[in-house]
Amino acid sequence: MSANAFLATAADLPRLLDSGTAPGAGRPLSGVDPANLASLVEIVTGGSISSEDASATLETPVLSAGPRGPSIHRLPVEAAEALGNADASERARWAADWTGGAGRSNGTPEKALESLAELAAARGPEQDLYLWVADGP
């Protein structure tokens, strides 16, 4: 499974899904999928969105090309706002919390968090932060 984070308006989504390929301006999120992002959402929202609620939101596509995908999922707005407004030290703390303090030698969670934060900070007024999820690498 592969996931790419990208910014779009709701009106853009059908056209993007019809293209069949991840949006060109998207960011690949290695080792990340909607299920394991739920704990990050809980962390960055300070628990205002529980991991269970985030999981239900993230695992339900807003648009899908069918059971074999690809599908598009929306990151909760509260999480996108928190990520976009966070400074480097806060993001580092979140990454440590997300990995249980142990981290990973390849830095995958940290890179994913930074990619999400960069996109969230660049959001336009009508844009949301989405995930393009597809089978395969």
What confidence score (pLDDT) does residue 110 get? 84
DSSP 8-class letter at 72: E
pLDDT digits 0-9 by tens, 37-55: 999 999 999 999 999 999 9
Which tens digit of pLDDT belongs to each residue from 83-108? Answer: 999 999 999 899 888 887 655 545 67
Residues 71 and 2 sit within 8 Å (Cβ to Cβ):
no
Non-local CB neighbours of 19 within 8 Å, separated by 6+ positions: none
Higher pLDDT, 137 or 89: 89
| Interacting residues of 87 by C-beta distance below 8 A, sequence separation 6+ | none
pLDDT digits (tens, 9 = 90+) for 1-17: 788 999 999 999 999 88
Q: Could you tell me which of 79, 80, 84, 88 has the C-alpha nearest to residue 43?
A: 79
> One-letter amino acid identity for 115?
S
Listed in sequence order, the residues at least 6 apart from 36 whose beta carbon sits closer than 8 Å to its beta carbon are none
Mean pLDDT of the chain: 87
- The backbone torsions φ and ψ at residue 55, rounded to the nearest 5 degrees and listed phi first, read -60, -45
